[in-house]
Amino acid sequence: MSELNPDPEKTTHFGFLTIPEREKVEWVRRHFDTIAYKYDYMNTLLSLGVHYQWKRIAVRMMGLGQGQKVIDVCGGTGDLSRLAAQNVGRSGSVVLYDINWEMMAAGRPKTVAAACGDRVCHVQGDAEKIGFPDETFDAAMVGFGIRNLTHFEKGFAEMHRVLKKGGVFMCLEFSQPVTPWFRSLYDFYSFHLMPFIGKALARCGPAYCYLPESIRLFPGPDKLKTILENMGFRNVAYRRLTNGIAVVHVGKKGDGAK
């Protein structure tokens, strides 16, 4: 059955919930609409501010240069976009690409106020059908967003498509700690304390139940590396951050036809 007429019986996951596949985009949109204007505050609180360090490391690993054109897929409130804009200089540019306008609007004042803000362009669109021609960008990145797609493989394939040959790819995503005792502690924090804090401070406990559930369903670092290599990315490597709570994958688009 074609994508224009999705199978009404096909299902997917929203966290641990099983929902009709055709409805996931709307579920994700409502989720981020609910938390958009508290998203940055809650991220900083729940990660004790370490997410900023993760993002700086991830962008640094890309090795961006002056004058490059970058797309930040599922860019949300724009932390990665602003970091990339600093690296590409005045002759470069960054497209912050996200399906959720509320998230982009929530982060836009920070971008406007930043010295590099004029290099960032906000574009609303579907990450599974990126609205740019083949081989448009020198670099493509996604941070903490790819697991929210209905078909995350399509998102990666689209990022590959819009990259120039030899272009740099980066994915920063949550994972699970490698040390057993730390993983147990993290699980308790994720499944019990995080929803409680989300309900108390953001008045949205379910949103912070979805977060750890979606992380558990996302492929681990080795499996994700294989998926990316099978899509045509080359020299794929990854780095675990904070014992594996977050993982950065980087690679390049090969010179082949794929």
Domain extents for the chain? Answer: 35-177+212-253
Find out if CATH 3.40.920.10 is the number for domain 35-177+212-253: no
Q: Which helix (H) or strand (E) holds 224?
A: helix 221-230
Q: Which residue has the higher pLDDT, 5 or 194?
A: 194
pLDDT attached to residue 2: 38
Per-residue model confidence (pLDDT) at position 17: 56
| Bridge-based pairing state of the strands 17-20 and 69-73 | unpaired
Average pLDDT over residues 198-206: 62
Q: CA 130, CA 151: separation in Å to the nearest integer?
A: 13
Contact 42, 65 (CB under 8 A): no
- The label of the residue with tokens 């096909």 reads 10
Of 2-6, 65-69, 111-115, 181-185, least confident by mean pLDDT is 2-6
Task: Quote the tokens at residue 128.
Answer: 């599974």
Distance of CA 237 to the CA centre of its chain: 17
Q: For 91-143, how does the pLDDT look when each residue is reduced to its tens digit (9 = 90+)?
A: 999 999 999 999 999 999 999 999 999 999 999 999 999 999 999 999 999 99
Mean pLDDT of the chain: 87
Mean pLDDT within 152-158? 96
Is residue 4 predicted with pLDDT exceeding 50? no
